[in-house]
Structure 1
Amino acid sequence: MTTATTGPSELYVVRNEVDADCEYHCDALAAAFPTAEEVDFVAGERVPVDEADGVVLTGSTAAVYEAESRPWIAEQEALVRELVEREVPTLGVCFGHQVANAALGGSVEAVGTTAALVEATLDDDPLFEGVDPVVVSLHGDAVTDPGEGMDVIASAPHARVFGTRHRTAPLWTVQFHPEITAAHRDRLVEDFEWDSRGHSFEEVTAGRAFENFRALVRRAEA
């Protein structure tokens, strides 16, 4: 477990990638929280929940419905339920969005890969303040039914449940990738049938969601 410089809040970035060749998205997300402590959940590291002021769950090339062959997934679902119970601010991204909803009884299904810039419909929510509608979609699974207590706060033409928020606990999730930027374009083209769909990365401001989450963590501490 690697500890970065201690900040005003004790944040933990939970890394969920199972393929070493695909760690770049976890690296990019961790870079957005430079004072956070990284937890390699797949390798067996765990979040000290008693010490956590906020938790971010990354994406993964693993699928939530592979829990039988990947026991750590069920353990992460249990973590989500504990974070909800303790009201620890939590943000799930892509796989993190899926595992959080699954942990609360929602359903996740394989729907086919969408690798594109898409125009989402975003609710008026503190997480989305300053976030423009064009975001990076990069996933083959989707939440088809949100978990108990989870309201849909974002949707897209290809994904009805594109973002969720718990009604009483400080839990937010997004299917899109705020950490992916124009710097990753070559990798996206190489690995996927990337489609900008007439949009440009210049339209993407989704990284603001991370700033907003940090503000939500600070607000919860106050």
Structure 2
Amino acid sequence: MTTETKETGVACGAPAVLVVQHEEDAGPGLVGEHLAGTGLRLDVIRAWEGEALPESLGGHAGLIVLGGSVNCEDDESAPWLPGVRTLVREAVAGEVPLLGICLGGQIVAHALGGSVARRFQGPEVGAVPLRRLPAAEGDPVLGGVPDGAPAAQWHWDEVDRLPAGAVPLLSGDDCPYQAFRVGSVGWALQFHPEAGGETVASWAVGDAEHLRAAGVDRETAVGSVREAEPELRAVWGAVSEAWGSVVRAHAGASRGV
């Protein structure tokens, strides 16, 4: 699902968030719904269709980098990635609220000096419980996530080294860096807060051969997300709105409100 200004009826003067979308079936989804519902405008760039990224974040109060199947270093397959890395660095340096989701989180890590590797144990898919780390306490975006909260996972790569100064916030039994903070208002997530059962089911169809090769039962993975969906919506909807509050505060400060 792609959420845009013309679809939400959000006023043109509302604070705008730049959203980089890498694939047709990996839009802002549930995160976009919550952000639009709180009065933010989403400017979605369909990068895979050739839509150009802006040269800077001027005019935007936040940046979201979504997920996708491309490797975060594969500039040949996704020639827009260098521009995304530039925007990520600008957001962190300029204290513009940033949210990286799955591939987007990996791009954040890579752009800031961390590294990403293929998971030797195979893909992490389905609904997976997360663990709070001590630094999550008091975090303005992830501070309210309960220990053991489920998250929708769908990734073959993962961050294996955090950038210097990054603060890990959430972990998991099979993936150590599920969420981390960079700078003052930047967050990177390995999981998919935007995805529900229908979205994951579509990914499972597209990745059927890869899942079979990895020995993963796609029906089990999809079923776990469907079963957890009420909690997924509640937990990550609240997180989306918390990030939106950071964006609105940034926009107000920029206007001197």
Residues 1:165 and 2:195 are matched in the alignment: no
- Find the partner of 2:59 among 28, 39, 51: 51
> Which segments of 5 or more consecutive residues in structure 1 lack a partner in the other structure?
18-22
Name the structure 1 match of 2:211: none
Q: Which TM-score applies when normalising by structure 2?
A: 0.75
> Which segments of 5 or more consecutive residues in structure 2 lack a partner in the other structure?
209-217
Is contact 1:118-1:135 (8 Å) kept? yes
Is contact 1:13-1:30 (8 Å) kept? no
1-structure distance, mates of 2:21, 2:91: 16
Larger Rg: 2
Name the SS for the 2:26 alignment partner: helix
Distance 1:208 1:40, change over 3 A: same
Name the structure 2 match of 1:110: 118
2-structure distance, mates of 1:186, 1:145: 30
Amino acid at match of 1:16: H
* 1:64-83 correspondence runs (5 A): 64-83=72-91
Name the structure 2 match of 1:201: 229
Name the structure 2 match of 1:217: 247
Residues 1:180 and 2:195 are matched in the alignment: yes
Q: CA deviation at 1:41?
A: 2.9
Q: CA deviation at 1:129?
A: 4.3
Is contact 2:45-2:52 (8 Å) kept? yes
Distance 1:69 1:36, change over 3 A: closer
Report which of the two has the higher share of helix: 2
- How many pairs does the alignment contain? 215
Q: CA deviation at 1:7?
A: 5.3
RMSD (Å), alpha carbons: 2.4
2-structure distance, mates of 1:40, 1:189: 22
Name the structure 1 match of 2:156: 140
Q: CA deviation at 1:184?
A: 3.3
Name the SS for the 1:208 alignment partner: helix
Is contact 1:53-1:89 (8 Å) kept? yes
Q: CA deviation at 1:40?
A: 2.1
Name the structure 1 match of 2:213: none
Name the SS for the 1:52 alignment partner: coil
Is contact 2:70-2:77 (8 Å) kept? no
Report which of the two has the higher share of strand: 1
Amino acid at match of 2:131: T
